[in-house]
Structure 1
Amino acid sequence: MTILSRGAHVLVFPFPAPGHMMPLLDLTHQLSIRGLTITILVTPKILPILHPLLSTHPSINPLVLPFPAHPSLPSGAENVKDLSPTAFPAIMHAMRQLHAPIIEWFQTHPSPPVAIISDMFLWWTNNLACQLGILRFMFSPSGVMAMSIIYALRRYPPDDANDPNGMIHLDRIPNSPNYPWWQLQFLYSTRYVEGDPISDFMRDGILANMASWGLIFNSFSELERVYLDHVMAEAGHDRVWAVGLLFPSQIDNNLPEQTSAPSGNNIVSWLDTCGDRTVVYVCFGSQAVLNNNQTKQIAAGLEKSGARFLWCVKEAPKGSAAEGGDHGVIPSGFDDRIAGRGLVVREWAPQVMILRHRAVGAFLTHCGWNSLLEGLAAGVPMLAWPMEGEQFLNANLLVDELKVATRVCEGAQTVPDSDKLARVVAESVGKKRGSESENIRPRELRMAALEAVKEGGSSNVDLDRLAVHIAHLAFT
């Protein structure tokens, strides 16, 4: 690790969603221990999330600015964990109103930052950085392949994007993947509604990200080398750093929504009673709330499978349109019927700890990037059910390229067949899957991930390179 002299000041600006914020907070931690001076910008309701980081690094200063009101958002929407991802564009648009307060803070600071590191959803900070005469580094909590495809859709729009089931061939992307258009539509940033301010704002976001001075990814070279090379070629420079895996357990365990949740001891105690690689862990991330038809079929599939399972269920948020309706309700009597063989958790669960437990043999996941990395780092084979956005791209990476996952279902509204689900779940922790040959590839990737973050590993070296690069800005 390279320890730098103090002096290079950086403004870090996360997007207020757990999947985006947690890896950027870990990057902030990594840069702080390498000697950089850091100010991190948050809104008031997000400030408690920083407490573990600030306690560890008293030199990191928070900049707290009020969350701007927006006509498309409910009151108090600054913490987006309980909002649908479809609300993200409005959140992004609202946060652009922080442009003027940031400039005022910068102009009055005795030693203002030489660079901004901001989330990919805050692309307007590239223009802000240019206005301030400093450099912007984009941070992507997503993978390099996903960013490559999203950028390609914007820069090289597909000729025929009218048929939802029509196949789109991405021949400019390494390995030339094919996707049905309905899986790419949400990512297609050129969609435009005349006169809509959010649509105007979204249109050029991806291009602004790629125009940033530097690009930082929560990935590692051994996982996405071909896509890192591709991004460098598209960007026309080598200021691209893969610094993953970033998922800070010390911060993850202290998120505000977890303060009233069980410590996880009950979960670990239950896992301790199970045999090695006999449990299927089922979790669809911090955003997805399944409808009752989906929940019913998942419950039936798990029950029919005969396998042990740990199922983390996200119930409809209080006050949301889904609360008390047709979302997130476990069938009556299910808990009693599966008692001893299965465990249903309706609150936060320590996912990293669960995945690393010897009892977990498979992971049924929505293929969010953080979950993907956590599964890889644990060496656990995955069952893929991508639901929206880049999750379809991540699923292709897991299933078709890395060969560490099996497709189970696709789509946020798709209702699985319980018999098929039962069969796949049973096989995932059956004798065939539990054999040494079936687990070689996940274990290889686990070792590669762990090596990347060690001293001298590719991600550790990239962190050093990034810190040195930023430090030099203070003297140019």
Structure 2
Amino acid sequence: MTTTLGDLHLLVFPFPAQGHLIPLLDLAHYLSLRQPRLSLTVVVTPANVPLLHHFLAATPSASPLVLPISSPSSLAPGVEHVRLLPSPSSFAALIRALSSLRPALLSWARSCPLPPSAIISDFFLGWTHYLAADIGVPRVVFYSSGAFGVSALDFLWHHMPSASTPSSPVPLDSLPSAPVFPYSHLPAIFRRYIAGESDWEFARESFLANSASWGGAINTFDALEGDYLAHLRRSYGHDRIWAVGPIHTTGAPGNRGGRSSIPAEEVLPWLDSCPPRSVVYICFGSQYVPTSAQGATIAAALETSGVRFVWAIGAGVVPEGFVGEKGMVILGWAPQAAILRHDAVASFVTHCGWNSVLEATAAGVVMLAWPMEAEQFVNACLLVEGARVAVRVGYGTAEGMPAAEKLAQALADSVAEGGEWSEVKLRAAELRRRAAEAVAEGGSSYRDFEEFVEQVAELGKKATK
């Protein structure tokens, strides 16, 4: 059923980091498929325009609104000419820099022949709630993190706990199951605020604005995070919180996030040559760069275990002299979703970034959790203690570095038949089934997406009256 309640124009504002930008663009694409009379305007900085080419080619109703930002001193010089975010430590500075676009966006909206009916923006851009109020339209928050991570961050911003040592326990006692984390495992953006780093006061105010926005779409599904979705709806005081995931990437595997030493079309044929469930995939995401010590540990574990592998990593991390005869090392961007869905892949050594979590869940592979920063420790807790589809192999950098011999054993166990990992593999397969059910017709995410489409379409109908 297609809802056509009038011309609808949405302003889409992603945060310029791969893990934020790509899923929001995919959501916008699916919205365009459901709304034939929908037009989309996507805010983008000049250097990031090439990253929209795939999306714009697949979404004829979309067009870019290219706006440059100034470079604050806390960002690298000329950041408006740098593709994507320089580093996670620059998040707060970039949030403030992007907020400087507010006057230009307001002027554009007021002069637009078909003014926007709503704004859909990343949850790192909470200040757009006030932009939406200036324009006189609702704002929908897109959460590229999971409901547990969002709930944890909301709790921290409102309760502001502190700690005397990095190991001090911090209970999140109003959340389901009242989880407790060491202070050093709390989301990094909160700890940077507590440390008094520049621009984080503005960032905190921006995050707090999310709960005041009209509605929110979260890239998750009920079988994985139902308790936390219910918690957010209670906390925000309304039901306009829609679980719309796992959001699948659009189109064939390709260069959607950066350069790669091995083209995507060469990776899958190599996997075709491997036996089913025999390969370990290793990747720590697009933002985190492993240390040389971590790279050396992984390389030693791969050599000791003798497993087949695909290792996606940044240049300079793989130790000199590492051969890896039974695997493939990809320097740069990898077609991760396609790799994880391949029948040859059995397990995934991951930092537990949310997009990686969902892609692994949808593929039914076991995760070897090695959280590093951001909200990854929260995600690892969900996977290891909650869904029990992952095994913790390490955490952080120096303090949680696994011994190469123990990591090698975990790699070998993850691809072996039978053994103590059997139950974990069965639960991962079951969660894969439930993720597929969620997005299939009649499933929980399908129904939420339908309701989301209908309510957004109603906004267009009201805007034309």
> TM-score, structure 1 length as denominator?
0.91
Q: 1:433 to 1:80 in 2, by over 3 A?
A: farther
Task: Report whether the alignment pairs 1:332 with 2:320.
Answer: yes
Residue matched to 1:372: 357
What CA distance in whole angstroms lies between the structure 1 residues aligned with 2:152 and 2:139?
22
Contact 1:298–1:416, Cα closer than 8 Å, also in 2: no
Contact 1:247–1:370, Cα closer than 8 Å, also in 2: no
Q: 1:236 to 1:344 in 2, by over 3 A?
A: same
Contact 1:154–1:190, Cα closer than 8 Å, also in 2: no
Q: 1:311 to 1:94 in 2, by over 3 A?
A: same
What CA distance in whole angstroms lies between the structure 1 residues aligned with 2:231 and 2:199?
30
Q: 1:342 to 1:61 in 2, by over 3 A?
A: closer
- Which deviates further from its counterpart, 58-67 or 365-374? 58-67
Residue matched to 2:144: 141
Task: Report whether the alignment pairs 1:54 with 2:39.
Answer: no
Contact 1:314–1:347, Cα closer than 8 Å, also in 2: yes
Q: 1:123 to 1:385 in 2, by over 3 A?
A: same
Task: Report whether the alignment pairs 1:394 with 2:379.
Answer: yes
User: How far off its partner does 1:306 sit?
Assistant: 2.2
Task: Report whether the alignment pairs 1:19 with 2:19.
Answer: yes
User: How far off its partner does 1:198 sit?
Assistant: 0.9
User: How far off its partner does 1:437 sit?
Assistant: 4.7
**One-letter amino acid matched to 2:122:** D
Residue matched to 2:330: 345
**One-letter amino acid matched to 1:16:** P
Task: Report whether the alignment pairs 1:63 with 2:51.
Answer: no
Contact 1:189–1:202, Cα closer than 8 Å, also in 2: no
**One-letter amino acid matched to 2:429:** R
Q: 1:82 to 1:41 in 2, by over 3 A?
A: closer
User: How far off its partner does 1:252 sit?
Assistant: 6.3
Task: Report whether the alignment pairs 1:179 with 2:181.
Answer: yes
Contact 1:386–1:412, Cα closer than 8 Å, also in 2: no
Contact 2:187–2:376, Cα closer than 8 Å, also in 1: no
- Which deviates further from its counterpart, 213-222 or 407-416? 407-416
What CA distance in whole angstroms lies between the structure 2 residues aligned with 1:235 and 1:189?
24
User: How far off its partner does 1:355 sit?
Assistant: 0.8
Residue matched to 2:368: 383
- Which deviates further from its counterpart, 214-223 or 454-463? 454-463
Deviations 1:201-236 (A, max 9, x none): 123222211111101101112211111110011001
What CA distance in whole angstroms lies between the structure 1 residues aligned with 2:149 and 2:83?
22
Give the alignment partner of residue 104 of structure 1, picking from 95, 104, 107: 107
User: How far off its partner does 1:145 sit?
Assistant: 0.6
- Between the two proteins, what is the percent identity of the paired residues? 44
Q: 1:243 to 1:256 in 2, by over 3 A?
A: closer
User: How far off its partner does 1:250 sit?
Assistant: 2.3
Q: 1:438 to 1:149 in 2, by over 3 A?
A: closer
What CA distance in whole angstroms lies between the structure 1 residues aligned with 2:18 and 2:130?
25
Contact 2:244–2:446, Cα closer than 8 Å, also in 1: yes
Deviations 1:27-67 (A, max 9, x none): 10111112132211111122222222222222222211113
What CA distance in whole angstroms lies between the structure 2 residues aligned with 1:45 and 1:236?
39
Q: 1:395 to 1:164 in 2, by over 3 A?
A: same
Q: 1:102 to 1:252 in 2, by over 3 A?
A: farther
Residue matched to 2:169: 167
Q: 1:223 to 1:192 in 2, by over 3 A?
A: closer
What CA distance in whole angstroms lies between the structure 2 residues aligned with 1:305 and 1:378?
24
Contact 1:93–1:201, Cα closer than 8 Å, also in 2: yes
Contact 1:192–1:200, Cα closer than 8 Å, also in 2: no
Give the alignment partner of residue 467 of structure 1, picking from 446, 449, 453: 453
Contact 1:4–1:468, Cα closer than 8 Å, also in 2: no
Long gaps (5+) in structure 2 = none
When the two structures are aligned, how many residues end up with a matched partner?
Answer: 458
Residue matched to 1:123: 126
